[in-house]
């Protein structure tokens, strides 16, 4: 995790080529319906196309839910090559402010390792972000805290980088095998609120809030997890 691979020019390699990938081990601890649930996932970002005429790229986000050996997948997400807003890549690590979908401010730095902090609200939901990144530009850890109305931590989601060809061009993705897609696993078909569905109807070819996308993944899997636990205990 602490290796500082750079490209041949000595600068981080942006996600500007098809096949760029970054998988993250994801551990989720969430309070739901007066119970505490733990989910273990693998989040996989994979660049599928680069549009050089307008400096954008398309990528897919796939979540392997290790608890259930199931897969959730997104539709195509568009982002900016030079300054991604949603893809987990920070080309200008060390700058005091990073302009992303959620604006990040430099919290601390030590020997080319940087910690950034950001905060946003989705309705009444407060989210706090901590990005740990070095000179490669690929975060080696990300922590997202969901804060309740009384200031308590409702959920804690930690992403830990597994490997990436943006860090080391020789790396290859290692993904779980024999996982099955969940019913209606395409994100625009998930059974969630009307407001979120309306927002996600525009997912193909348009920018959407990555925060909302991640929340939906967590929310749906926690509901599935809770339902299964209740069924097994009855």
CB 124 within 8 A of CB 118: no
H-helix or E-strand spanning residue 41? strand 35-51
Q: How big, in percent rounded to 5, are the helix, strand and coil portions of the chain?
A: 15, 45, 40
What's the pLDDT tens digit per position in 27-83? 888 776 677 878 888 989 999 988 878 888 898 888 888 888 888 776 678 888 888
> Which class for 154: exposed (0-12), middle (13-18), buried (19 or more C-beta within 10 A)?
middle
What pLDDT does residue 117 have? 97
What pLDDT does residue 65 have? 83
Of 76-80, 146-150, 164-168, 196-200, where does the model show the most confidence?
A: 164-168
Q: Which two tokens stand for residue 160?
A: 């830990």
Please name the residue that has the structure tokens 């996982």: 179
Q: Is 185 helix (H, G, I), strand (E, B) or coil?
A: strand
What's the pLDDT tens digit per position in 173-215? 989 888 887 654 444 333 333 333 333 333 322 323 444 445 5
What's 209's DSSP letter? -
How large is the average pLDDT for residues 112-132? 89
What pTM was computed for the model? 0.76
> Which class for 126: exposed (0-12), middle (13-18), buried (19 or more C-beta within 10 A)?
middle
More confident residue, 6 or 110: 110
Reference 110, options 86, 130, 94; nearest CA is 94
């Amino acid at each position: 995790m602490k290796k500082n691979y750079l490209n041949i020019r000595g600068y981080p390699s942006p996600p500007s080529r098809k096949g760029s990938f970054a998988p993250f081990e994801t551990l989720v601890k969430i309070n739901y319906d007066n119970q505490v649930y733990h989910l273990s996932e693998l989040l996989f970002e994979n660049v599928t196309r680069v549009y050089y005429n307008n400096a954008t790229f398309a990528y897919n986000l796939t979540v392997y839910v290790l608890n259930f050996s199931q897969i959730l997948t997104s539709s195509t997400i568009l982002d900016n090559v030079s300054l991604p807003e949603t893809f987990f890549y920070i080309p200008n690590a060390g700058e005091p402010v990073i302009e992303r979908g959620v604006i990040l401010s430099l919290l601390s730095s030590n020997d080319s390792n940087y910690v950034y902090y950001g905060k946003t609200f989705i309705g009444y939901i407060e989210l706090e972000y901590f990005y740990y990144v070095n000179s490669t530009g690929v975060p080696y850890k990300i922590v997202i805290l969901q804060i309740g109305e009384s200031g308590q931590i409702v959920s804690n989601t930690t992403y830990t980088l597994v490997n990436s060809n943006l860090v080391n061009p020789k790396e290859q993705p290692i993904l779980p095998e024999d996982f099955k897609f969940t019913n209606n696993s395409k994100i625009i078909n998930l059974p969630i609120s009307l407001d979120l569905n309306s927002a996600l109807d525009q997912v193909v070819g348009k920018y959407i809030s990555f925060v909302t996308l991640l929340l939906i993944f967590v929310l749906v899997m926690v509901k599935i997890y809770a339902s299964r636990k209740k069924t097994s205990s009855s």
